[in-house]
Homo-oligomer: A and B are copies of this chain.
Amino acid sequence: MPEQPDGRRDDLAAMLGPLVQVLVAAEQPVLAEHDLSMWGYAVLCGLGDEPVRTQAALAQAIGADKTRIIGVLDTLQERGLIEREPDPADRRARLLRLTGEGRRLRDDVQRSIQQGEQRWLGRLPADERAVFLRALARLSRLAREDLDRSR
């Protein structure tokens, strides 16, 4: 699909909006199947493979308010998907890490989601798709750096 005939284009945000909307909608059934909220999944992804030293740091990493994720952490902990213990060196802080089961669940869900994304990415020619993903990854990283600076 070429640009509009006169070379004009929609604003980036106007193009990204609908795309985000269908992608988020497509994630819902997968998340529901595993009893995860969007924020629950974001936490599992945000924890990565090394422990995180404070809840506030985790919240910032996933773009949430620190108060926003407390209930989420409660639930994940009750389900044995994460561990949350006071830092012995500073008992105000909570050390956070994935359990084995948490990691497994995260990987399962991520596999399903990225498989679903093929419905969209598959509509792009392979070479264009690779460039798109590389460019998106770069822009996303720059955007995150910018957000981190302004917080």
Contact = CB atoms under 8 A, between A and B. Distances in A.
| Copies assembled | 2
A144 interface: yes
Contact residues on A (Cβ < 8 Å of other chain), bracket: 35 or more
Interface stretch (A73-81, A83-91, A121-129): A121-129
B21 A63 contact: yes
The majority secondary structure among interface residues of chain A is helix
Nearest to A1: B138
Interface string A6-24: 0001111111111111111
A10 B140 contact: yes
A141 B12 contact: no
Contacts of A141: 1
B13 A27 contact: yes
Interface in A81-119: 110, 113-114, 117
Contact of A128 (B13, B120, B134): B134
